[in-house]
């Protein structure tokens, strides 16, 4: 019952976000229709970082408790994060083609999303090349925490050392009120909530399967 309710809620919420994102006038008049991708690109990037934060959090808890379920949850969150990271990279690249003129410009924001992608790949490479269960869990947890320590540098420091084209004050910041109209903000935050909810649902469903799998394995 609960799962069914959640499924329909998610379906209608995301459906409404998609409809409104295309029905309402484009959020940014200067770059026109292409700016609608804003409603999908930014939430993807947000979930990509959120999922990695959750991976790091589960990793810290794994290191202190040594519970295999926590390791499975960390890996699961990283899997979901990887999907959203690929989506954010692709949608950002398409948008960059129309807003900045080329699919790839090595803008600091593009660099950091690409590095986030590399971190996910490195995390799964490490998991793939250690076969002993406890060792794999500990190593990947340590790597996730270490990699997470670089995220603040990528988000806050790199754009200050190298020049950027990417707007940083559209959503949060002093000038946000002028940049985004009230309708745009409503749709945007609804989309942000919808994507976060989508991640949460996928995570919950995945966690049921993996934790059940772990229990089965230990029974054998």
- Chain residues binding other proteins by CB under 8 A are 63, 111, 115, 118-119, 121-122, 125-126, 129-131, 134-135, 138-139, 141-143, 145-147, 149-150, 153-154, 157-158, 160-162
Kindly state the smallest distance separating residue 209's Cβ from other proteins, in Å.
Answer: 27
Kindly state the smallest distance separating residue 45's Cβ from other proteins, in Å.
Answer: 17
Q: Which is nearer to other proteins, 69 or 122 (CB)?
A: 122
Kindly state the smallest distance separating residue 13's Cβ from other proteins, in Å.
Answer: 34
Q: Which is nearer to other proteins, 37 or 49 (CB)?
A: 49
Q: Which is nearer to other proteins, 115 or 198 (CB)?
A: 115
Kindly state the smallest distance separating residue 54's Cβ from other proteins, in Å.
Answer: 18
How far is 201 from 165, CA to CA, in rounded Å? 34
**Structural contact between residues 85 and 116, judged by C-beta atoms closer than 8 angstroms:** yes
Q: Which is nearer to other proteins, 146 or 165 (CB)?
A: 146
Kindly state the smallest distance separating residue 55's Cβ from other proteins, in Å.
Answer: 14
Q: Which is nearer to other proteins, 16 or 158 (CB)?
A: 158
How far is 51 from 146, CA to CA, in rounded Å? 15
Q: Which is nearer to other proteins, 138 or 196 (CB)?
A: 138
Length of the chain as a residue count? 220
DSSP state, residue 100? T
DSSP for 57-98, written as a single string: HHHHHHHHH--HHHHHHHHHHHHHHHHHHHHHHHHHHHHHHH
Kindly state the smallest distance separating residue 191's Cβ from other proteins, in Å.
Answer: 28
Please, which contacts does 120-124 make with residues 24 or more away whose CB atoms are closer than 8 Å? 120/52, 120/78, 120/81, 120/82, 120/85, 122/147, 123/55, 123/78, 123/147, 124/78, 124/82
Instruction: Kindly give, in sequence order, each residue whose CB lies less than 8 Å from that of residue 84, ignoring residues fewer than 6 positions away.
Output: 44, 45, 47, 48, 51, 195, 199
């Amino acid at each position: 019952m609960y799962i069914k309710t959640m499924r329909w809620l998610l379906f209608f919420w995301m459906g409404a976000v998609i409809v409104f994102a295309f029905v309402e006038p484009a959020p940014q008049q200067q770059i026109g229709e292409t700016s609608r991708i804003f409603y999908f690109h930014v939430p993807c990037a947000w979930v990509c970082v959120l999922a990695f934060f959750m991976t790091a959090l589960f990793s810290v808890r794994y290191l202190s408790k040594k519970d295999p379920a926590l390791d499975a949850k960390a890996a699961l969150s990283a899997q979901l994060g990887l999907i959203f990271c690929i989506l954010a990279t692709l949608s950002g690249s398409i948008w960059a083609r129309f807003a900045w003129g080329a699919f790839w410009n090595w803008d600091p924001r593009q660099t950091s999303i690409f590095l986030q992608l590399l971190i996910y790949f490195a995390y799964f490479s490490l998991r793939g090349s250690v076969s002993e269960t406890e060792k794999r869990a500990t190593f990947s947890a340590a790597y996730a925490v270490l990699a997470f320590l670089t995220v603040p540098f990528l988000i806050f420091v790199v754009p200050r050392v190298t020049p950027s084209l990417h707007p940083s004050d559209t959503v949060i910041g002093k000038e946000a009120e002028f940049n985004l109209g009230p309708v745009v903000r409503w749709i945007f935050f609804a989309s942000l909530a919808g994507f976060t909810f989508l991640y949460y649902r996928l995570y919950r469903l995945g966690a049921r399967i993996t934790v059940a799998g772990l229990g089965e394995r230990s029974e054998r």
